[in-house]
Amino acid sequence: MKQRTWSLVVILGICLISSGCRGNMELNDLHLVHSIAIDEGSKGLIKLTAEIAELTPTGQQPKGMHNGTFFLSVEGNSLFEAARLMRAKSDRTLLWGHTTVILFSKAAAKNGINKHIEALRRLKQFRNSTLLYVTDGHAFEVLRVSKPNGPIFSQVLRGLSQGEKSTAFTQQTSLIDVYKELVNRTHDLTIPALQVVKNPIQSKKQQLQAMGLYAFQGERLIGLMSTTETKGYLRALNKMESSVETLTCGPNQTITFENINNKSLIKPIVDANLKPKTHIDIYATLNITGYECKGAQINPEIILELEKKLNKAIASDVQQYIRYSQKHKVDLLGIGEKIHRSYPKYWKKMQASWDDIYAASQFTVTAHCRIDHTNFIFEIEPSVG
């Protein structure tokens, strides 16, 4: 019995060795898609642009697998159709599974992104972790902006998105994040803004920066949040750890704080007249990392005063975000869902006109800041004998 089993194993091994890569694609038959741009096309069509890296067998060039990038653009009645038509323009099979960035133009996003997200899901090769961005102007032109740190656009965007925690000016948003919100509708969604700006060192050149968030009402883009509104939103959403806060203490003088911990408690209350009142408590722990105030010493009294200023500044950021969200009727914090869970009977009467109710509802914000580990030596008051 053992001899028979070993014979089968040997025969199977010989078959696998002799079959080689039969049934699989060779490297010379593939193009890797790294980034795609989605724009409005002509006559109501959808324009799809792909940044493609050509694969070459190992050893044929110093860089190994990548032989630079090039672009292909196709228009179709849908994103799914455009992706299929693009194959006719390529001399190799397109591999979509390595796409790490999807860039929407503002114009395309205003018309709704649900149909595009559904098309990407039908292609199946797209990873759930693929990052999404929205840009003003034409998305396909942004793909061609010079990239100082590497030849591939998606690598630049992934690096920019990693600054979300230290700056709080943006937030990573993946394909699965957007898909879940479009399906569950627990709250409106945001997608990071990608901007093209002048290079501060070489003014004739352009560079990319990820800053601010585009707010969506359902699937349709409504508008861009400023950096202050974005910080207030992320603060209320419990996504502000490791970011930086600053206070001024004179001309060109600042105090810098690092967020160590952040917690937000959102509690909506609905009365019998179906008028909601929402209170937001923000709890934050910060460290002083930079102190440029001339002639001032750090002591317990100074710390207490700084905590008061931080409470006021942080509450102001959150309130500015709330004003933005009410003006544009976008419920990004999921206040409606919280009311649905706590007041299901009231919610049935409110749901149909929730956008208008949200815009007119009352909000209050209270910040509770604490400064720990100042990294400075306290001034010691002399004792009186």
| pLDDT tens column, 274-319 | 999 999 999 999 998 888 888 767 788 888 999 999 999 999 999 9
Q: Is the pLDDT of residue 13 over 60?
A: no
Q: What stretches of 104-200 show up as alpha helix (H) in DSSP?
A: 106-110, 114-123, 139-142, 153-161, 164-167, 175-184
| pLDDT for 23 | 45
pTM given for the model: 0.81
Helix, strand, coil percent content, the chain, rounded in steps of 5: 35, 30, 30
Q: DSSP 3-state assignment of 206? A: strand
Q: Is the dihedral of CA 111, 113, 115, 119 positive or negative?
A: positive
For residue 14, pLDDT over 60 is answered with no
In residues, how long is the chain? 385
Give the span between the Cα atoms of 24 and 20, in whole angstroms.
9
Number of neighbouring beta carbons within 10 Å of residue 270: 20
Spatial separation of the C-alpha atoms in residues 51 and 356, rounded to whole Å:
42
Please, which pLDDT band fits residue 24 given cuts at 50, 70 and 90? Answer: low
Of 96-100, 137-141, 262-266, 353-357, the least confident: 96-100
Q: Using 50, 70 and 90 to split pLDDT, how confident is the model at 121?
A: confident
Average pLDDT value for residue range 39-63: 77
Predicted confidence (pLDDT) at residue 72 exceeds the cutoff of 70:
yes
Q: Which of 75, 86, 88, 24 is nearest to 51 (CA)?
A: 86
The answer, yes or no, to whether residue 68 has pLDDT greater than 80, is no
pLDDT greater at residue 239 or residue 365:
365
When the pLDDT of each residue in the chain is averaged and rounded to a whole number, the result is 82
pLDDT band of residue 195 (cuts 50, 70, 90) is confident
pLDDT over 60 (residue 383): no
Quick: pLDDT tens for 316-342. Answer: 999 999 999 999 999 999 999 999 999
- Partners of 48 in the beta sheet? 38, 74
Residue 7 has pLDDT above 60, yes or no: no
Q: Is the pLDDT of residue 109 over 90?
A: yes
pLDDT of residue 36: 94
Give me the pLDDT at residue 11, please.
Answer: 44
Comparing 31 with 67, the larger pLDDT belongs to 31
* pLDDT value of position 94: 85
Asked whether 219 and 134 are in contact (CB, 8 A), the reply is no
- DSSP assignment of 211-247 equals EEEEEEETTEEEEEEPHHHHHHHHHHTT--TT-EEEE
The pLDDT value given to residue 159: 61
Residue 380's pLDDT band (cuts 50, 70, 90): very low
Q: How confident is the model at residue 232 (pLDDT cuts 50, 70, 90)?
A: very high
Helix (H, G, I), strand (E, B), or coil: what is residue 347? helix
First and final C-alpha spacing in the chain: 98
DSSP 96: G
Tally of CB atoms within 10 A around 318: 24
* Nearest by Cα to 132 from 171, 98, 101, 97: 101
CA dist 364 → 64, 269, 361 (Å): 58, 12, 10
Helix (H, G, I), strand (E, B) or coil at 150: coil
Site of tokens 């049934």 = 23
Among candidate residues 282, 284, 294, 300, the one with its CA nearest the CA of residue 255: 294
The confidence score (pLDDT) of residue 57 equals 58
What is the band of 198 on the pLDDT scale with cuts at 50, 70, 90? Answer: confident
Answer for the pair 157, 131: CB distance below 8 angstroms, yes or no. Answer: yes
Q: Is the pLDDT of residue 369 over 60?
A: yes
CA dist 257 and 14 (Å) reads 65
* pLDDT at residue number 239: 84
Name the pLDDT band for 202 (thresholds 50, 70, 90): low
Both tokens of 48, joined, read 């799809």
Give the contacts of 29 (CB within 8 A, at least 6 positions apart).
92, 93
Question: pLDDT at position 20, please?
Answer: 41
Q: What is the pLDDT of residue 15?
A: 46
67 Cβ contact partners less than 8 Å away, ≥ 6 residues apart: 53, 54, 55, 56, 61
pLDDT for 124-175, tens place per residue? 788 889 999 999 989 999 888 755 555 566 666 666 655 555 556 778 899 9
